[in-house]
Amino acid sequence: MVIWRLHSICKFASGIFFLALVSSPIRATIWAFPKFGTAIVSGNYLAFTDVNEKRVICVNRGSGTKLWEVEAPGGNARLSKGGDGRIYLGAKGAFYEINLDGELKKIFENKFVACELIRSDETGLLIGSLSKNSASVSLHDKTTGKLKWKRDGARSPLALTDNILLQKVGRGTGTRTSVRALDVQNGKTLWTKTFKDRVVECESVGEYFLFGLALDLKELRVYQQRSGELVRQINVGPVNFHLVMYQGFPVVWWHSKFSQTVKFSHIRNSRLRP
C-alpha cells in the first residue's frame, strides 16, 4: 500500500519501510533500499538517513546507485530542504548545511538532543529543537547561524504562514490544548488560546486559521491570523472538513460521518458567508 508519493519516490507499508523507485504506469520496482529515516529529493539526487539516524546516504534517483555516505555527527539526523534549494542536516548538538558531494558545513551548535528545519527563507533558518527537558523554536541567521530569537515550551507546529507560526505549547491537561501564534520576524507572541477540547485539525487559508476541535471534530472555529479574533464558530457534529479554492476564493467544506450531506462556506472579505 502506498503511503505517499513524491517525484516517483515511494514509501510502502509492508512490514518494514523502504525507499523504492517505481516505474509508471507499470509500477514495477526498479530499485529499493531497506529501512530509512528522513529523505529529500534534489534534482537527480536522493539523500536519506538510515533507520538509526546516524548516517546520510545519497543515491542516483534513477538508478539507485550509491554516490556517497557520510556519518551524521552526534546522531539523531534529520534531513530537510529549504525554500532556497539548500539541503540541511539537523543532528544532536549542531545544525549543518550539506552539499550534493556530502560535505558538511556547520552553521551553529547548541545543547539540543535533536533539531530540524521548519523553514528557510530570507528571514533566516526557523528551527525546531528538542532538549532533555523541553522543546523550543528559534530563528537563526542563514550565513552565520547567529541566534535572532528563541522561544521555549514549543510543541508541534500546527500551521505556518509567511509571517506567523502557530504551534501547540505546554503539556496540556486532559483534552485541553493551548496554542500560540508567534511573529516569525521577532519571535513575539501575537496571541494565545486555550481550548477545552483537543485540536485535531488545523489549516491556514487566506487570513484565517481554521481549527477542528475534539476527537470527533464536532466543532469548527475560524480565527483571524494576526489578531486571534474569533470570526466564526460552527457546531457541525462529527465531520471531516477540507479547504479548496473556488472561483479564486478559499472555501471550507465539510461532511458528516453519518450523512452524505456536504456543506460549504466561503471565507471572503474578512467574514464568512454561508
Q: What is the pLDDT along the chain (274 residues), one digit of tens a residue?
A: 233 333 333 333 332 344 555 544 555 666 676 667 788 888 888 888 887 888 898 888 888 888 999 998 888 888 888 877 889 999 988 999 998 888 999 999 888 888 889 999 889 999 998 887 778 899 999 989 999 999 988 777 888 998 999 988 866 555 678 899 999 999 999 999 988 777 767 878 778 888 877 655 567 788 899 999 998 887 766 556 665 656 656 566 666 555 555 555 555 443 444 3
Structural contact between residues 212 and 219, judged by C-beta atoms closer than 8 angstroms: yes
Residue found under cell 488545523 = 202
CA gyration radius, the chain: 21
* pTM given for the model: 0.75
The full DSSP string for 118-171 is EEEETTEEEEEEE-SS-EEEEEE-TTT--EEEEEESEEEEEEE-SSEEEEEES-
Structure confidence by residue, pLDDT tens digits, 31-40: 676 667 788 8
Dihedral sign for Cα atoms in the order 127, 128, 132, 134? positive
- pLDDT for res 13: 33
Residues linked to residue 263 through DSSP beta bridges, in sequence order: 254
Structural contact between residues 230 and 220, judged by C-beta atoms closer than 8 angstroms: no
- pLDDT for res 83: 78
- pLDDT for res 139: 95
Q: Which residues in 113-125 are b (16+ Cβ under 10 Å) and which e?
A: bbbbbbbbeeebb
> In this structure, are strands 135-140 and 124-130 parallel, antiparallel, or unpaired?
antiparallel
**CA-wise closest residue to 87 among 71, 108, 101, 76:** 101
- pLDDT for res 238: 57
Q: How far is CA 49 from the centre of its chain?
A: 18
- pLDDT for res 253: 65
Q: How far is CA 237 from the centre of its chain?
A: 28
> Cell numbers of 140, please?
537563526
Structural contact between residues 104 and 70, judged by C-beta atoms closer than 8 angstroms: yes
Domains in the chain: ranges and CATH: 1-112 (2.40.128.630)
- pLDDT for res 17: 41
Report how far residue 69's alpha carbon sits from residue 13's, in angstroms, rounded to the nearest whole number.
25
- pLDDT for res 8: 34
What CA–CA distances, in Å, run from 63 to 59, 66, 81, 122, 228? 8, 9, 22, 35, 50
